Amino acid sequence: MPPQSQGPAPAGAPYDYSGPEELLQPIDGALRQVVDPEVAMTIVDIGLVYRVTLADDTALVTMTMTSAACPVADLIREDVETELGRVLPASMRIRVELVWEPAWTVERMSPRARAFMGW
């Protein structure tokens, strides 16, 4: 069985990761390709991703939106699935779960995103 990594993802990413060590970097890179079109920043920089868990044949991404009324939630979910589909084994199912607890706050944003937004 490949080594498992648990805890924060690389480069200070604000989400937890549980899965094979060799997939951690490709997953992080894929998530950083997904941009929230409303703010023109990656979902990782905005702090929308809470957790990525790989178990058995499923990759589960637990994430949120900045508000429950986000008009681009479906687009972002599809982009997450597409980008992860490029780096994960073809046999792996990808599931994106939207949660509202804990609520998203500006404190979840990376320093780069806060500077970009002027916060």
Confirm or reject CATH 3.30.300.130 for domain 4-117, answering yes or no. yes
Residue 72: closest CA among 35, 47, 101: 35
Tokens of 46: 């905005």
Q: Give the pLDDT confidence score for residue 117 in this predicted structure.
A: 83
Tokens of 98: 């939207």
Tokens of 50: 């809470």
pLDDT mean by block of 10 residues, the chain; 119 residues: 52 79 94 94 95 96 93 96 97 97 90 86
Q: Give the pLDDT confidence score for residue 5 in this predicted structure.
A: 56
Q: Give the pLDDT confidence score for residue 12 in this predicted structure.
A: 54
Q: How far is CA 59 from CA 14, 16, 27, 53, 87, in A?
A: 18, 13, 10, 6, 11
Strands 41-42 and 49-55: unpaired
**How far is 64 from 60, CA to CA, in rounded Å?**
13
Q: Give the pLDDT confidence score for residue 1 in this predicted structure.
A: 43
Q: Give the pLDDT confidence score for residue 119 in this predicted structure.
A: 79
